[in-house]
Structure 1
Amino acid sequence: MTAVLRAESLSRVFRSAGGDVVAVRDADLAVESGELVAVAGRSGAGKTTLLTMLGGLDAPTEGRVLVDGADLAAPSTDVDALRGSRIASIFQTAGLIPVLSAAENVEVPLRIRRVDPAERDRRVAQALRDVGLEDHARQRPGELSGGQQQRVGIARALVMAPGILLADEPTAQLDSETGAQIMDLIAQLVHHRGTAAVVATHDVAMLARADRVLEIHDGVLRERVD
């Protein structure tokens, strides 16, 4: 099967007066549809930097990222369009808009893409059902638990039916039981929808749910050898 997300010789160097810091060094990665890949590593190891490059939020110093064969750095590639239609991200905190309901938060990317209102309603309802929050559609973030807020964030990320999901420590702010529920939900949605997912985490339970585990240390990415 062809990889939908690929990194080739990816490096990111941050330059400063105090010296260069190599956050990611010569990383190679290939992720297929329906595959959940976990990237393990301590804080500061390079996980977040790797994900921001994979998602087109940061440009590599060297190497390239390919999404469906398109080089994100190529002049002909519309990165914003790819991020809007093919790539979705989940972060440590859901980042919901406090004054909007759960349904309205999920609807935001559909409004940005000017999706037809009837289609928006259908997709939002389905996304909330997928994460088990159909009965909480009208509640605002402040009326939801931390785990429920993270579920809303997942629904918002998946409402555009992206082919690629990037998650940066999605359970870091949650208790172990709620975190396990979120991890199960991500794994289920990835495998059910055929999404290619990369999850950066140090959570052992999350690693156990992954199809493949990579480790990153001092910016060097390697396959885990048990």
Structure 2
Amino acid sequence: MTAVLRAEALSRVFSSPSGDVVAVRDAELAVEPGELVVIAGKSGAGKTTLLTMLGGLDRPSSGRVLVDGIDLADPATDISALRGARIASIFQTGGLIPVLSAAENVEVPLRIRRVDPDERDRRVADALRSVGLEDHTRQRPGELSGGQQQRVGIARALVMAPGILLADEPTAQLDSETGAQIMDLIARLVHDSGTAAIVATHDPAMLQRADRVLELHDGVLRRREQ
């Protein structure tokens, strides 16, 4: 099976008054459809930096990222269009808009892409049903629990049927039981939809849901030793 997301010799160096700081060093990664890859590492290990480069939000200092074989650094690449069509993200807090209902939050990327209203309604309903929130469509984020808010964030990420899902510490703000439920949900949806997913976490309880675990330590990405 061909990898839909690939990183080749990916590095990111930040300049500081005290000298250069290497956040990620020569990372190599290939993720296939339907694969859930967890990147483990302590806070400050460079996980967020790696995800932002993989998602096209930050340019590497060297190396390259390929999405469906398309080089994100190529001047001819429309990164915004590629992100909108192929890449979705889940954040620690869900990143929901407080004044919108659960359904309206999930609907946002569909409106941006100008999806037909009837199709939009169907896809929003399907997405909320897939995360078990079909009875909470009209509630706003403040009326939902932390776990429910994260489920809305997952539904919003998956409503566009992305080929790639990036999740940065999606369970960090949740208790251990709710966090385990969220990771179980992500794993099920990824495997059912054939989405390639990369989840960054420092929570050791999350590793057992992964198809593959990599560890980022001092900027170096490597397979986690069992």
When normalised by structure 1's length, the TM-score is 0.99
Which residue pairs with 2:172 in the alignment? 172
Secondary structure at 1:33's aligned position in 2?
A: coil
Secondary structure at 1:136's aligned position in 2?
A: coil
Report 1:4-153 matches (<5 A). Answer: 4-153=4-153
Secondary structure at 1:38's aligned position in 2?
A: strand
Higher mean C-alpha displacement, 169-178 vs 11-20: 11-20
Aligned partner of 1:15: which letter?
A: S
Which residue pairs with 2:3 in the alignment? 3
Q: How many residues align?
A: 226
Secondary structure at 2:216's aligned position in 1?
A: strand
Aligned partner of 2:86: which letter?
A: R
Any runs of at least 4 consecutive aligned residues in structure 1 with deviations exceeding 3 A, and if so which?
Answer: none
Unaligned stretches of 5+ in structure 2?
Answer: none
Aligned partner of 2:122: which letter?
A: R
Counterpart CA distance in 2 for 1:206 and 1:193 is 20
Deviation at 1:97? 0.6
Counterpart CA distance in 2 for 1:84 and 1:183 is 24
Deviation at 1:205? 2.2
Deviation at 1:77? 1.0
Counterpart CA distance in 1 for 2:97 and 2:216 is 33
Counterpart CA distance in 1 for 2:102 and 2:120 is 14
Which residue pairs with 1:187 in the alignment? 187
Which residue pairs with 2:223 in the alignment? 223
Counterpart CA distance in 2 for 1:35 and 1:205 is 19
Aligned partner of 2:187: which letter?
A: A
The percent of aligned pairs where both chains have the same amino acid is: 85
Deviation at 1:19? 1.1
Counterpart CA distance in 2 for 1:186 and 1:214 is 18
Higher mean C-alpha displacement, 68-77 vs 15-24: 15-24
Secondary structure at 1:14's aligned position in 2?
A: strand
Secondary structure at 1:57's aligned position in 2?
A: coil
Counterpart CA distance in 2 for 1:44 and 1:16 is 16
Counterpart CA distance in 2 for 1:85 and 1:203 is 30
When normalised by structure 2's length, the TM-score is 0.99
Deviation at 1:225? 1.8
Which residue pairs with 1:198 in the alignment? 198
Superposition RMSD in Å = 0.6
Counterpart CA distance in 1 for 2:52 and 2:180 is 24
Unaligned stretches of 5+ in structure 1?
Answer: none
Counterpart CA distance in 2 for 1:29 and 1:39 is 11
Secondary structure at 1:23's aligned position in 2?
A: strand
Counterpart CA distance in 1 for 2:225 and 2:140 is 44
Counterpart CA distance in 2 for 1:92 and 1:185 is 15
Secondary structure at 2:150's aligned position in 1?
A: helix
Which residue pairs with 1:156 in the alignment? 156
Aligned partner of 2:104: which letter?
A: E
Secondary structure at 1:198's aligned position in 2?
A: strand
